[in-house]
Chain A
Amino acid sequence: MSEERREQEGSLQSRIIQVIIGIGGALVFPVIAILISFVIGAVIVLATGNNPLTAYSALIGGAFGSATGLGRTLLYTTPLIFTGLAVAVAFRAGLFNIGGEGQLYIGAITAAWLGVSLGGLGVAAIPLALAACVVTGFMWGAIPGVLKAYFGAHEVITTIMLNVIAINLAYYLAQNPLRQQGPIPGTESVPAEVRIPLIGIGLGRTNYGLAIALLAALVVYLLLWRTRLGFRIRAVGLSPGAAGYAGMSIGVNTVLALAIGGSFAALGGGVEILGVYGNMDVPFVANLGFSGIGVALLGRNHPVGVVLGALLFGGLNSGAQEMQFATDVPLQLASVLLAVILLLVTATRLVEFIIGKRARALAGARLEKGLGG
């Protein structure tokens, strides 16, 4: 009895150690990539005749140094968590969801419409409109899933194509049936009661959409590792052959993974409308969906990684504004840094060359799993 208990404690200990090694291994590559990109960025800053230290302290200070800056960072982070999750869920099933952009627009137009038409319901309209975003995003995301599973169309192609359709569909609706009075193209504004409340405490426009995003990340974690559906999605993603032999349907799980991904991106669009913009202007904010691909890549398609990756993206974009204000370094430095980080995270062999094979062996297996390599 006591031996069994000791054994259990031993296995608990070894599991804790495994988890720590796992987290460490997962962080090695992104952290190295971030450091290298900052070094490369420093060269660029020098070339523009500025002091890298001043620029970086302004960048980091601008992102996290003040309540206002942090608020702006979190504001930028929120939608990227949703679009990052949209990519990550699909990726776990072995699928590349490039359709986050369009899925986000589908959610945005859904929320812009229902936020106004259900406006009479007051606060109750918020959960209803967001739930509707989940449904429309699910259906929109299911389209490439069905095309892939039953007609053999590659999801990368179809999700890219569907972006164009979704964006123009949303714009059409925003400019025609849902158009507001006046010269500015876009939908009517949703009533104040239907707006997601601000968190306050000096965080500027940061609203409880952030809490919804974090909740969504938790939901993705539970879905993937604590439910039957998640078990199937992961099995199908890692080994369609073995999953099929175990009696799982590749087709059904393909459709579900893309559809669930779509519902998260659409929820992100809804949260942007009800939390930040209040209506859908034409043109609407661009690239949140595409950035989600980078966020998921950086976050290894794990919900915790997605949250951290979104925070990095949000922080760099937010801090760059402060940096541009404090120095002559252009705003685009943030984009350059992000691009270099993503390049390094993707180019595993380059990092291997830089940090040596042994270190790579520790982290590499996980990384390649994350990239499907």
Chain B
Amino acid sequence: MEAGEPRLAAEGLVVHSNTGATAVDGVSLEVRAGEILGIAGVDGNGQTELAEALAGVRAVAGGGVHLDGEDVTSSGADARQGRGLAYVPEDRGSKGLVQDFSLYENNALKTYDERPFSRWGWIFPSVMRRSAAENLRAYDVRPADPDARAGSLSGGNQQKAILARELSGDPGVIIASQPTRGVDVGAIEFIHRRLLEQRSEGKAILLISLELEEIRSLSDRILVMYAGRIAGEVGPYATDEELGLLMAGRGAERSA
């Protein structure tokens, strides 16, 4: 499929890590409608901070983020989500889910303040429960019990529950950070299928993964990150050697 308009873009993005070090050092990229842009790299080369900055949960130290052509650099996670950005964080345990919330509360974690879940400051748990039951069934979360505590689910089912929440709102742009880390084989396949489905529906997807196989099998283009910079761009048929050299910072400097 031919990729369309750029939906998510970063320009010269600079982001600091929790320790104050420069984790992302001038990254520019574009994710277009109908494509999966993969980001490969050895863990700790700025991928996490890049995803967080794009999603609006980490402050940007320089450069800008554009969502559908509009500058959203200074708007928060809330506002970006409202503009159709979905974010699957890599740390599902402490970032993706409130472990001690029920599945229906987690399902509404970002939309609890919107209709039909809420009106005039009140929330409606029964509506949340019904909507969650639908989502959980559609994403094959087991148990599909909206009242189950999120923390009682297996890793794969937790991840499917997050995907159900993030994708059910029909977002235009999806950032998926290590969506299958620590997840069983069945769930991995399921999650991959869902991401490919979203792509064919014309969504722009940024996939960050440490698994080269995952990156190669899903992505239309691959950016390799090294030391906070884009070390190079390759196609999905890049060899292990090509990717490996870029990931080790030995590739020909190229900026995307």
Contact yes or no, B122 A235, CB < 8 A? no
Contact yes or no, A238 B95, CB < 8 A? no
- How far is B63's CA from A129's CA once the two chains are assembled, in angstroms? 53
Beta-carbon contacts of B100-112 to A below 8 Å, as 1s and 0s? 1100010011101
Contact yes or no, A245 B95, CB < 8 A? yes
State which of B76-84, B191-199, B205-213 sits at the interface with chain A.
Answer: B76-84
- Interface residue A168 (Cβ < 8 Å from any Cβ of B): no
Contacting residues of chain A (225-258) with chain B, CB-CB under 8 angstroms:
225-231, 234-235, 238-239, 241-247
Contact yes or no, B147 A15, CB < 8 A? yes
Contact yes or no, B95 A241, CB < 8 A? yes
Contact yes or no, B118 A228, CB < 8 A? yes
Contact yes or no, A369 B110, CB < 8 A? no
- Interface residue A176 (Cβ < 8 Å from any Cβ of B): no
By beta carbon, the residue of chain B nearest A244 is B57
User: In angstroms, how far is the closest chain B Cβ from the Cβ of A234?
Assistant: 8
**B108 partner residues in chain A, CB cutoff 8 A:** 231
Contact yes or no, A228 B100, CB < 8 A? no
- Which secondary structure characterizes the binding site on chain A? helix
State which of B4-12, B86-94, B226-234 sits at the interface with chain A.
Answer: B86-94
Contacting residues of chain B (108-161) with chain A, CB-CB under 8 angstroms:
108-110, 112-113, 118, 121-123, 125, 133, 147
User: In angstroms, how far is the closest chain B Cβ from the Cβ of A155?
Assistant: 21
- Interface residue B96 (Cβ < 8 Å from any Cβ of A): yes
By beta carbon, the residue of chain B nearest A15 is B147
B96, B105, B133: the one within 8 Å of A231 (CB): B105
Beta-carbon contacts of A210-231 to B below 8 Å, as 1s and 0s? 0000000000000001111111
A228, A238, A243, A369: the one within 8 Å of B122 (CB): A228
- Interface residue B187 (Cβ < 8 Å from any Cβ of A): no
Chain A contact-residue range equals 20 to 34
- Interface residue A18 (Cβ < 8 Å from any Cβ of B): yes
Contact yes or no, A228 B57, CB < 8 A? no
A231, A239, A241: the one within 8 Å of B123 (CB): A231
Interface size on B, residues (CB 8 A): 31
- Interface residue B98 (Cβ < 8 Å from any Cβ of A): yes
Contact yes or no, B77 A247, CB < 8 A? yes
**A238 partner residues in chain B, CB cutoff 8 A:** 98-101
Contacting residues of chain A (112-170) with chain B, CB-CB under 8 angstroms:
none
Contact yes or no, B98 A243, CB < 8 A? yes
**B89 partner residues in chain A, CB cutoff 8 A:** 245
Contact yes or no, B113 A228, CB < 8 A? yes
- How far is B50's CA from A215's CA once the two chains are assembled, in angstroms? 48
- How far is B147's CA from A227's CA once the two chains are assembled, in angstroms? 18
- Given A235-B101, A245-B57, A228:B94 Cβ within 8 A: no
Contact yes or no, B81 A247, CB < 8 A? yes
- How far is B117's CA from A228's CA once the two chains are assembled, in angstroms? 10
- How far is B114's CA from A53's CA once the two chains are assembled, in angstroms? 58
- How far is B99's CA from A227's CA once the two chains are assembled, in angstroms? 20
Contact yes or no, A227 B123, CB < 8 A? yes
- Interface residue B53 (Cβ < 8 Å from any Cβ of A): no
Beta-carbon contacts of A259-295 to B below 8 Å, as 1s and 0s? 0000000000000000000000000000000000000
- How far is B53's CA from A120's CA once the two chains are assembled, in angstroms? 60
- How far is B110's CA from A235's CA once the two chains are assembled, in angstroms? 11
Contact yes or no, A228 B112, CB < 8 A? yes
Contacting residues of chain A (1-37) with chain B, CB-CB under 8 angstroms:
11, 15, 18
- Interface residue B97 (Cβ < 8 Å from any Cβ of A): yes
Contact yes or no, A242 B97, CB < 8 A? yes
**B99 partner residues in chain A, CB cutoff 8 A:** 238-239
17 of the cross-chain contacts (CB-CB < 8 Å) are A15-B147, A226-B125, A228-B121, A231-B105, A235-B109, A239-B100, A241-B94, A242-B97, A242-B98, A245-B55, A245-B77, A245-B87, A245-B89, A245-B95, A246-B109, A247-B57, A247-B76
Other A-B pairs beyond A228-B112, A239-B97, A242-B95, 7, CB < 8 Å? A226-B125, A235-B105, A238-B101, A241-B91, A241-B94, A242-B98, A245-B95
Binding site for B on A (CB under 8 A): 11, 15, 18, 225-231, 234-235, 238-239, 241-247, 369
Give the top 8 A-B pairs by smallest Cβ distance, nearest first. Answer: A247-B78, A247-B77, A239-B98, A241-B94, A246-B109, A238-B100, A242-B98, A245-B95
